[in-house]
């Protein structure tokens, strides 16, 4: 999108640095959330098993044993699946953030180069608008 050049034209204020860049995607937190989700679903499975087993057993103690076993089995099947999906999703998020960061750095460099080129030449305002338009049209193509 081509915007008119004025004193109020916003500049790219992205502070990404190639050397000091740190990706905001936290793989450890993603792993912990996956384990928490798997644990929550396992506990729900165990509770439902306990309630269903109570109608077939003589006491809550025996039904609770079945529920605990069901919780362990559910955790055994759900945890690897959730961890695998979280690993894939966090990798994809990291790649998207890297692309976004690199794009913003290129855009910042491009606009600063255009500003330097315009400031070095003593052109009138119409020439400056044409330079911005050509540069942004090349970037979007």
Residue 34 forms part of a structural domain: yes
Residue 128 forms part of a structural domain: no
Residue pair 53/66 in contact (Cβ under 8 Å)? The answer is: yes
Residues 6+ apart with CB under 8 A from 133: 2
Residues 20-71: pLDDT tens digits?
Answer: 566 677 788 888 889 999 999 999 999 999 999 998 888 888 899 999 999 9
Residue scoring higher pLDDT (3 or 102): 102
Residue pair 109/35 in contact (Cβ under 8 Å)? The answer is: no
Range of the domain at 35: 27-121
Residue 16 forms part of a structural domain: no
CA distances from 33 to 26, 78, 108 (A): 11, 13, 35
- In the chain, how many domains are there? 1
- For residue 131, the model assigns a pLDDT of 74
């Amino acid at each position: 999108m081509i915007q008119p050049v004025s004193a109020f034209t916003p500049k790219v204020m992205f502070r990404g640095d190639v050397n000091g860049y740190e990706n905001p995607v936290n793989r450890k937190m993603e792993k912990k959330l996956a384990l928490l989700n798997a644990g929550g679903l396992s506990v729900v499975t165990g509770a439902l098993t306990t309630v269903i087993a109570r109608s077939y057993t003589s006491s809550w103690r025996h039904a609770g044993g079945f529920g605990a076993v069901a919780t362990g089995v559910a955790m055994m099947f759900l945890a690897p699946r959730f961890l695998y999906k979280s690993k894939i999703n966090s990798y994809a998020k990291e790649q998207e953030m890297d692309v976004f960061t690199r794009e913003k750095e290129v855009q910042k460099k491009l606009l600063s180069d255009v500003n330097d080129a315009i400031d070095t030449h003593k052109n009138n305002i119409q020439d400056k608008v044409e330079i911005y338009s050509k540069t942004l049209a090349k970037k979007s193509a």
